[in-house]
Structure formats: C-alpha cells, structure tokens
Amino acid sequence: MQTNLYRNYFKKLLSIVLYIGFLSFLTAAIRAQGETVAAAKSNLTAINLPTGAVRVVESSVPAEINTALEKLVAAGEGKIRQGNQEVLAWTNGYKKSNAPALIKQVTGNLQTSGWTYEVGSQDNDLTVFSVLRSAPTKRALLGFYTFSDEALVLAWTEILPSGSNNQTNNSTIVDNSNDDSRPANVNSAASVLKVEKNTTYVNVMGKEMPAMPTFPSLAPKPGRVRGYVKDASGKPLAGATLGVRSTLLGGMYSGAQGVTDAKGYYEFVIPSGAAHFYNAGYAIEWGDGVAALGLHPADGKLESFASPDGAVENFVLLSYGITSRESLSENPRLASTYYGGSIYVGYYVVGESDNNAPSGSVVENSVVEITLTPEGKLFDGSEGKSFVVRKTAGFDTGFKINNIPLGRYKISAKLSNGKPLKMKLNRPTQTVFGMTPTETTASASVLFFPNAADAKMVSPNYGNWNAVEISIEIP
C-alpha cells in the first residue's frame, strides 16, 4: 500500500473531515460514566501512549468521527476497505499548549516501534496522516487528530486490501456431539464455533430465534394503541413500558406512554398524526442490579401508522435472537443488534518472526480458545449450553462474541496447545456487572453489562447490552 495513493485526496479530505463540533461531542462522551477506558497502549499499534490517554468505547464514538474515518477510507476509490478503528483522547489535566508535545510523543513512539508516520495535510488544529509498517507484517492506518481548549482527540483506522475479508461473519457452528476433540468439561450439547482469521465478530446463535407465544385477537381502536406483552414462554409481563410519538408537522413530535397491567395488557390514547413506537422496554432483576431490555414485536416488524386508525402491537421479551433483519444487515458486529449478551475479547498480535514482540503478545495464526459454560439456569429458566469459540489470531486486535443467551457464565481462555491465557476485565469497572475476578489465568464468572436500567429509556428492536470487554495475553 503506497502513501502516494492518498496524496491527491488529502486536501479534499480536510473539507470532508469537518472537525468543528467533534470535541464537544466527544468530550461529552468522555465525561459520561462508563464511556471510556484508561489506555496505556494503543490497541491498533501497541505503542505506549502519553499519560492520561483514554480510549472511547465503540458504542460511544460520535457518528461524526465514524463518518470521517469512513470517508478517509473511501478516498482510496475502492482499492482499500476499513478494518478496526480506535479513538483516543486526552482531557484530564490536559492543556491545549501541551497538545503538540503529546502528538510528538505519539509519533516518536510510532517511529521507535518501526512505523512510518507521514502528515498528509494540515489546516489549523486538524491534521490528517497515514501510518505504515512493512515488517514483520505489512500494515497501514489512516487517521486524523485535532485539539481545542478542552481535549486532544486522535482517531485512526486500519486499512486493508479490498479483496480481504474481515467484515463478514465467517464463523462455523459445529455440532460436536461426536467430536472427540472437544475440550474436557464441556458437555455434549456444547457448540464449537470456529472463527476465521481477521473475522471480528461471531453470532453464537446464528439465525435461531425463540418461538413466539400466542396472543389474544384484538381489533384496532381509533385513536388508541393497544396490545399484550409476554415473555417467550407466554407469561404475561406487568410493568412493561410502551411509548408512541406522533407528528403532524415535520420534526415536531407529541408523545404518549402506557404501562402493562397484571395481564400484560396495555392501551392508551395517542396524539394525532403519523405515529410510531419509540419505546418498548421491560426491566428485570439482573444479578445485584437491574437491566432494562428492549422488547421484540411479536410479528417481527414495526411500522408507522395513522393515529386515527389506531394500532395493535404485541411484544415479547427475548433472552437471545436478532433484533431485526435491517440491523443484522447494517451492523452485525454491534452488541445491540442482538437480544443476547456480548463479550469483546481483545489482544495484541505479533508476527511469527517478530523478535521485539511486547510481553504477553499473541503470535499470528495462534488459535485462541474461549469457553463459556452456564452457571446454573439461564434467565429464561432453561438449562442452556456451553460455547467454545476457537479464533485464529490475525492482526485484528480482537473480536466480539455476540447473542449469548442471557445468564451468568463461567469463562476461560487458552491457546489450542492448552497453554492458559491471562484474562483482564477492561469494562465495565466499579459496577456489579462484568467479570469476577477481574484478572485471572484460571476461570472467571461473567454477568453481561446492560446499557440502561430504566425501561422507559429503551427502544423496541434493540438489544440494549454493552459488550463486557476483556483483554487476554500470554502470562
């Protein structure tokens, strides 16, 4: 990959990557509880970072920054595509006058680690750049940094040849009932999932969806919305919240909300106009805390409707499954695309011939094995099953295990040769959710991390789970 491929585009990109407003969005995300993790090293380059760096978690990165990185890659005119990305920031104790020194430290650490750093173009406090390395494996990144009185922000993304394949789910679910190679202590109902090199996510339940319960027949009432809410077993759910908003003029909304009774039934008057559901949530006891879950429309779809006609919509609480075909097509890597829980496993990979590998690094083409075993019955009362995820390590910094049926799981990590791996919890911290113990080379207990506790704040067709973020390394 040649830097001169982009030289003709850098000036154009400066007008595309509008940095005005980035820092206000990002600073707000940084200051929100649980939106960042402390970062001593870069996930993409493994370089040491200046003191005070934080990494903005994937779900909290402002859309403006994601769009800017996508446009940087799009400037390659189809010859490249986007790999993993990382957004770093400095805010605590930060002074604008120190920003140049922080950037100098970053670029110096890149060069010391064998990377070539090249500025593409600059405009005031915005700089677009490329980062290249030829050995032990050829890699390339594009990114930008910008700073103000409040923060220094650095965003970069790995670029890959357009013909490679790390954005599709190439995992294979294997029925291992007769597989003598399955790990010890994994029951015969376990699913073994083989995840291809450079694949960045896996959906452990595939296209499987729980069976939908039956509902009483209801006719629409003019000016009202009504229906029932149940769990997958057919039990009525009292206290679920449903919200509808309507508009007569573009952008001007009026809303109404209702709560289900002991029979799981709801009915309320809706404002005049074109209406749609904006809220459908149910709060559950989750470990020592509370988790608010998004509800699934029983017929699999939600459409807008005219308020004078009224509407009937039944909802189901699911412990796993795909929220919608649209979300699966657009965002298969996101935890919120699934009703099941999510775990992100991160690592730093080095080439087999890298003699200067940081301690704890995983060697390229090693097979990392993550085993998840239910601790007791699952949330829906079922016995559950174990999952064994075997991931061939590439230069992808990590992968997500999505759509895990809700429950508490025992997790362990090792290489395929049996060598145990050290696990460390990165997110969440200081909560009742996540992994216990937070650092171990043995097994640990995982409780999935909800995005909210208030059912009124949850959208329909939305999983509402954050990924529990765990890093692994060779002890």
| Per-residue model confidence as pLDDT tens digits over 306-343 | 999 999 999 999 999 999 989 998 889 999 999 999 99
In this structure, the answer to whether residues 14 and 151 fall within a common structural domain is yes
Instruction: In whole angstroms, give the CA distance from residue 469 to residue 342.
Output: 9
In this structure, the answer to whether residues 284 and 345 fall within a common structural domain is no
pLDDT in tens, 117-129: 988 877 667 888 8
Residue 167 within a domain? no
In this structure, the answer to whether residues 150 and 256 fall within a common structural domain is no
**Could you give the C-alpha distances from 375 to 152, 203, 233, 381, 403, in angstroms and in order?**
43, 20, 21, 12, 17
Higher local confidence (pLDDT), 125 or 220: 220
Percentage of residues of the chain with pLDDT beyond 90? 51
Nearest to 420 by CA among 348, 474, 373: 474
In contact, 279 and 253? CB cutoff 8 Å: no
Provide the pLDDT confidence category of residue 30 given band limits of 50, 70 and 90.
low
CA R_g for the chain = 24
Residue 297, preceding peptide bond in cis (omega within 30° of 0): no
Instruction: In whole angstroms, give the CA distance from residue 433 to residue 466.
Output: 11
How many CB atoms within 10 Å of residue 72? 28
In this structure, the answer to whether residues 197 and 304 fall within a common structural domain is no
In this structure, the answer to whether residues 342 and 277 fall within a common structural domain is no
Q: Compute the mean pLDDT over every residue in the chain, rounded to the nearest whole number.
A: 84
In this structure, the answer to whether residues 333 and 447 fall within a common structural domain is yes
In this structure, the answer to whether residues 379 and 279 fall within a common structural domain is no
The SS3 of residue 371 is strand
In this structure, the answer to whether residues 186 and 303 fall within a common structural domain is no
Q: What's the longest Cα–Cα distance across the chain?
A: 73
Strands, E, within 62-151: which ranges?
A: 80-90, 116-123, 126-133, 139-147
Domain span holding position 423: 172-209+327-473
In this structure, which amino acid lies at residue 203?
N
Number of domains in the chain: 3
Among residues 285, 317, 349, the one where a domain terminates is 317
CATH of the domain at 284: 2.60.40.1120
Instruction: In whole angstroms, give the CA distance from residue 415 to residue 208.
Output: 29
Residue 283 within a domain? yes
Place of tokens 């996508």: 70
Among residues 317, 350, 376, the one where a domain terminates is 317
